Chains A and B, each alone.
Chain A
Amino acid sequence: MLEVGDQIHLGTVTFDQATVERYLAAVEDEALSRLNREGGTAWVPPMAMAAQFSAAVSQMQLPLEALHTAQELEFFGPVPLGRQITGQARVVGSRQRSDLALIHLELEGRDANNAVVLRGRTTLLWPKEGTE
């Protein structure tokens, strides 16, 4: 199980046109699609980056029923299409109650120049075994 202080590499993703279009179609984001269509430059949806790294968090050593209960995100964009972003997470807290377990993580996404493009904090919660 994850412990406070653990660092987790969340992977490196190139947010190319196909990746971004797939994301925008999945969330039906008309506002960002319009922004990209009408502007001279196409941008990576910040939530697409957050989604990728949030998914990586969900794939960690956590139970099936672990749920996000809180999320903080901060965007430092706009990030042009085609950028490669690397995600990193750090466990900053964990708590055990009689029936529940919680974990707090800080997330960060950096581009190839090491500039922070996304920062966040997430809380996951799951029922402890034998409590249902």
Chain B
Amino acid sequence: MAQQAAPTLPRELPPVVRTLTQEKIQRYGQASGDLNPVHVDPQAAGRSRFGGTIAHGMLVLAYVSEAMTAAFGLDWLRSGRLRVRFRAVARPGDVVSAGGQLRSLREEGDRWHAVYEVEARNQRGEVLISGEAEVEVAGEGR
């Protein structure tokens, strides 16, 4: 029998909105160590099939993770799970909006598992990333 009631969770994650610039992509490349020319060298990237630089997928995914951190704090760092697909590339100038919606909540022992459908879209509404994020949270005292 459950000792705690289901936690009250946000139905929707407040979106994280970021405008990508080449400078931000360079900064991420330096911070992560991913200096693949397709991200940081406009000339080399211009000769690639992308026709210009693209943002690191993990940079865009970081915005999704931020939305989960904002909602769940340490619970996200303790037990977060992400399962996503990268659907399209993001480029300098894109305005990325990352967020999610609660899909399910299930009880497991004295903890609850919340699963959110998450995604990141650009300003044209194109899906850049889609998938799910799961986090384990405590119930509420009865």
Contacts and interface: CB of A to CB of B under 8 A. Distances in A.
Contact of A51 (B18, B62, B63, B69): B62
Given A31-B70, A55-B34, A78-B78, A26 B24 contact: yes
Interface residues of B, number: 43
A98 interface: no
A47 B65 contact: yes
A93 to B, nearest CB: 16
Contact of B65 (A25, A46, A54): A46
Contacts of B67: 31
20 contacts: A26-B27, A26-B30, A26-B31, A26-B32, A27-B31, A45-B69, A46-B76, A48-B31, A51-B28, A51-B56, A65-B38, A67-B86, A71-B86, A72-B83, A72-B84, A73-B80, A73-B82, A75-B77, A77-B78, A78-B77
A64 B38 contact: yes
Q: State the main secondary structure of chain B at its contact with A.
A: helix
A27 B83 contact: no
B49 A127 contact: yes
Given A74-B81, A78-B77, A132-B49, A22 B31 contact: yes
Contacts of B6: none
Given A58-B34, A127-B49, A47 B70 contact: no
Contacts of A4: none
A113 interface: no
Given A29-B66, A43-B77, A70-B84, 17 more contacts: A26-B24, A27-B62, A28-B24, A29-B62, A30-B70, A47-B58, A51-B31, A51-B58, A58-B36, A64-B48, A68-B86, A71-B86, A72-B82, A75-B76, A76-B79, A77-B78, A132-B49
A19 to B, nearest CB: 8
Contact of B80 (A25, A29, A75): A75
Interface in A46-91: 46-48, 50-52, 54-56, 58-59, 64-65, 67-79
